[in-house]
Chain A
Amino acid sequence: MMKQAQQRVGLLQGTLDMLILRTLLYGPAHGHQIGKHIQRTTNEFLQMQHGSLYPALHRLEQRGWVSAKWETAPDRNRECKYYRLTPKGRKQLVAEESQWKQMAEAVARVMWPAAEEN
């Protein structure tokens, strides 16, 4: 338990939106799926807090980057709220992605200057 807790880290501020948008690039998904997907893809390294997931989803919806609709899940006999990427959201994803890339490169340049020179 202790070990697991140590391995999990909180998300960097502002990256959750990007991750959600990127996840939705595969197709529509409901909240549970999105959370599970991010958790699984990062090998449980990123622990999804539902407390931030849902506010984030609704924030994205309010901004018009995703749209939401109640649909019957294909694998189960129940209705789930599916989120899908809007064209506006796609644009936003591209923008955030490039921003993140620049950021990561900048950080890397400071952190590992030798590697850069080689």
Chain B
Amino acid sequence: MNWWQIKKKDADLERELRSDLELEEEEQREGGISGEEARYAALRAFGNPTLIREQTLAIWSWNWLESLARDLRLSLRTLGRTPGFTVIAILVMALGIGANVALFTVVRGVLLKPLPFDDPDHLVMLYEAGLHEDDTAGSNPVSGGMYDEWKKQNRSYSGLALAKGIRVGLSASGGQLPEKLYSALFSWDVLRTLGVQPALGRDFTQADDNPTASGTVLLSWGLWKRRFGSDPAILNQTIHLDAKPYTVIGIMPAWFDFPDPSTQLWTPVYHDKPEDEMTSFSNHMFRVVGRLKAGVGASQGVADLSIISQRTHNAHLNDPFIFQSARSRPLLEHIVGEIKKPLYVLLEATCCLLLIACLNVANLLVARSAARRKELAIRTALGGGWLRLIGERLMECLLLSASGGALGLLLAFAALHWLMQTRHDMSRVESIHFDGVVAAFTVGVIVLCALFSGLIAAFSSSDKRILGALHEASRSVSGGGARPTLRKVLLTLEVGLTVILLIGAGLLLKSYERLRSADMGCLTQDVITMHLGIPDARYPTAAQRANFYDTLLERVRALPGVDAAGFATVVPGQGYQIDWTFSIVEHPPLPQGSGQFALSRWADRKYFHAMGIPILRGRTFDGGKRLDAANEVVISQSFAGQYFPGEDPLGRHLRARGKNAVIVGIVGDTRYAIGETPKPVQYYPLDAGVETVGTLVIRSSRGPEQFALPVQRIVSEMDRDLPVSDVLTMNQLLGQSTLDQSFNAALLVAFATLSLVLAAVGLFGVMSYIAAQRTTEIGIRVALGAKREQVMRKMLLDGMRPAVFGLVVGLAASLEAGRLMRDLLYEIKPLDPAVYAAVAATLLAVAAFACIVPAWRASRLDPMQALRAE
């Protein structure tokens, strides 16, 4: 029955009762009683009309709903009376709930939601494995040759497809500048294997995917919108990629971002890559995605492929770089692999934060219920049911956490918006949405918070010593013992959780700092880098290529203010990229089945100077040796140490890619990525005119950023179709590669700071409350001659005790938490003593600060005033 129906019923009932009462009155009058007397007699016979009304109405109404509404009204009024408390509690809840909802939304979108592909449970990512004995867990890319064998011979997969992310230059067209784009090479059946259709146009066919076919390309929705104005007429038009023509055959849906989020276009791999790369067994460069046939398990599929790998390996024993087995991982795991652990750590951190928020609100409620003790005792004495009182308390908490949740939801929206803006590089960031599950999660969290904080508070006030409370309240000499104890326990827990968060944040922060201060082996200041590459199609000969870079570097070096400039295919911090196998001509041949490989880079002769990589022995490349005559190689220190132990490498020859090169110099070690140990590197001369794509580095002590535009002008003067991209200072380049770490550390530090503030507020609240309760006691003590310092010391100790207990508990629990985080740390132990000490000191300092104000205030009490206070 609805409330308006009840209202109608109530009016009706009132009329009925009035009418009957009047009848009774008339009868009484007829019986001979007159005037007022009759009225009173009628009322006496009738009983209390209001009570009757209420009792009768109870027949019609939903009793519990009504009492709920009453609780709600009451709670609103109670909360409204203490706006300060209400605002603080709601804010605390909002922070806790908001952080949790935001992170849960991310975790759900990224980790829990199935991939948007057809029947994603059957999709796996395949790797080669088993080159070395200990190599069982690696995720090695697959060689074109092995893929071919797998595809031809396997019986477990209904589809096996190949993908590789690359970069291409999109030529200037229609008044638009040339640009460098992330692109992916697909075998023709990738989309079929994933079960995805282009949004417009058609998929690749087998006929598109071979060297003799004409070029075809699929565009991403974003590129189509941005560069071609969402014009469907682009279909079947020709665009130029690295100066070669490609026909646009389709546009992919907006959500499609395989193999990674930055991919903007897709081209067929067998068309783009030379045949020898596609058939090589030792050139491992591709990602292979497979769809398991129905009823075939992942391990069964891997076993099938491993047999093929083993057979191929045995057939080519002279090639030491053919893997012997295969490995697979669910596709989802491959895509989110790196982000999974940090996300879960962050989720645990937000859970801690929420728990702290709940504890804090519970603490505030306990304090309030202590203040309302007299009221509650009176209500209990007048027959207020225990359940009703708890219900009321829960309703209050529900109101608090619901408003907190609503506010938190707004915070979560803002946080997610910010996240999508700043971390669009994150895998699956596009699948993060608010949806039904997130809504349910939010409601669940709100209810849980209300129950948690409400029940703690309710049980704290459920003691039956009504009389005691009434007595005590009439003249309180010292605060009742029970409640401060409960509050101290809550505080201990809160402090403990804060310590865990602080230690987690401290560890991440320190490891991030270590990471950023790791010596890269080259200059990181005053250096700017720019990515550029010349298309083979327009620079077909080695001489043209070598000349281009000669001219470019010459003109760049001539710019006023440039201290040095150089060019290399890969600079430190840009990743592993390429390694080559090599042999040392002067050494005896290695036994069959073993081989050597090292990172390989092409560099111009002044690159080492420009990057500040020291030449330890020998010299750099001879500028006079060009093209085929460029037969020199420079090696890194660790290369020399590893492959020429106890001998002088200078003058020896390396044989790689079928050519001999003489070692002319040894340079210092560099790290290919921040956080990785230096690996051996072989540098070949750019003057050979082989390599076409790389990074220009410019060093200037007068702000290298200023050269971004002049250099781009030079490049476009030399070739107006050449895009320059990724203009980054060395610091920015390294910053990008530590984005994850800095992001995680920043978030965790934010959470830890918040929880520290919450714990401090809690501590301050409890101390102020205890001090207020003890006003009379302290007054008596002071009046009897206690020194103010003594009072202060006692109060301080009282307040610090829960903080110290909490610290101990938290430190103990952090041992476990640190273990969980081990994978996220760089060069520090989970038990880093400095971090533990710093956290303990910070916490104690904050706790002391939170306690000192109430303690000081207590010690300043004027005894006379204190004694009169009640």
Contacts and interface: CB of A to CB of B under 8 A. Distances in A.
Contacts of B20: 30-32, 80
A54 B46 CA distance: 11
A54 B52 contact: yes
Interface string B10-50: 00110111011011101000000000000000000011100
Interface string B47-58: 110011001101
A32 B22 CA distance: 10
Contacts of B47: 49-51
Given A49-B47, A50-B47, A51-B51, A58 B23 contact: no
Interface string A45-75: 0000111001101110010000000000000
Contact of B55 (A32, A51, A79): A51
A77 to B, nearest CB: 11
Contacts of A76: 23, 26
Given A32-B24, A49-B47, A54 B55 contact: yes
Given A58-B60, A81-B16, A50 B23 contact: no
B17 A54 contact: yes
B58 to A, nearest CB: 7
A63 to B, nearest CB: 10
A59 B46 CA distance: 19
B59 interface: yes
Interface in B204-228: none
A82 to B, nearest CB: 10
B56 A58 contact: yes
A78 B20 CA distance: 11
A80 B52 contact: no
A54 B23 CA distance: 15
Residue among A49, A54, A62, A76 with the most chain B CB within 10 A?
A54
Contacts, number: 49
A49 B51 CA distance: 12
B55 A55 contact: yes
Contacts of A51: 47-48, 51-52, 55
A77 B746 CA distance: 84
Contacts of A59: 59
A76 B27 CA distance: 12
B25 to A, nearest CB: 11
Contacts of B55: 51, 54-55
Given A49-B47, A50-B47, A80 B56 contact: no
A30 B26 CA distance: 15
Contacts of B22: 78
Interface string A28-52: 0011100000000000000001110
Contact of B19 (A50, A54, A58, A78): A78
B61 to A, nearest CB: 11
A81 B20 CA distance: 9
Contacts of B56: 54-55, 57-58
A52 B748 CA distance: 65
A76 B19 CA distance: 12
Contacts of A81: 12, 15-16, 19
B13 A32 contact: no
Interface in B75-90: none
Of A31, A50, A55, most B-chain CB atoms within 10 Å? A50
Contact of A62 (B13, B15, B26, B60): B60
Contacts of A30: 16, 19-20, 23
A19 B12 CA distance: 24
Contacts of A55: 52, 55-56, 58-59
A57 B52 CA distance: 12
Contacts of B24: 32
Nearest to A48: B45
Nearest to A80: B19
A80 B15 CA distance: 9
B57 to A, nearest CB: 8
Interface centre among B12, B46, B52, B56 (most CB of A within 10 A): B56
A58 B59 contact: yes
Nearest to B24: A32
Contacts of B12: 81
B716 to A, nearest CB: 88
A31 B51 CA distance: 17
Contacts of B13: 54, 58
Contacts of B52: 50-51, 54-55
Contacts of B19: 30, 78-81
Given A49-B47, A50-B47, A50-B52, A31 B16 contact: yes
B44 to A, nearest CB: 11
B60 A32 contact: no
B16 A62 contact: no
Contacts of A50: 46-47, 52
A30 B17 CA distance: 11
Interface string A69-102: 0000000101111000000000000000000000
A62 B51 contact: no
B10 to A, nearest CB: 11
Contacts of A54: 13, 16-17, 52, 55-56
A81 B55 CA distance: 18
Nearest to A59: B59
Contacts of A31: 16, 20
Contacts of B16: 30-31, 54, 81
Nearest to B53: A54
Contacts of A32: 20, 23-24
Nearest to A73: B23
A66 to B, nearest CB: 13
Contacts of A78: 19, 22
Q: Which of A32, A76, A79 has the largest count of B CB atoms less than 10 A from its CB?
A: A32
Contacts of A57: 56
A58 B56 CA distance: 7
A57 B23 CA distance: 18
Q: Which of B15, B17, B59 has the most CB of A within 10 A?
A: B59
Nearest to B16: A81
A68 B16 CA distance: 11
Contacts of B60: 58, 62
A15 to B, nearest CB: 18
Contacts of A80: 19-20, 23
A45 to B, nearest CB: 16
A53 B56 CA distance: 9
A47 B71 CA distance: 37
Contacts of B48: 51
Nearest to B12: A81
Contacts of A79: 19
A89 to B, nearest CB: 16
Nearest to B45: A50
Contacts of A49: 47
Interface string B324-354: 0000000000000000000000000000000
A99 to B, nearest CB: 22
A48 to B, nearest CB: 9
9 contacts: A31-B16, A32-B20, A51-B47, A51-B48, A54-B52, A55-B52, A58-B59, A59-B59, A81-B12
Given A51-B55, A54-B56, A76-B26, 12 more contacts: A30-B20, A32-B23, A50-B46, A54-B52, A55-B52, A59-B59, A62-B60, A78-B22, A79-B19, A80-B23, A81-B12, A81-B15
Report, nearest first, the 9 A-B pairs whose CB atoms are least far apart.
A32-B20, A54-B56, A81-B16, A32-B23, A58-B59, A55-B56, A50-B47, A31-B20, A59-B59
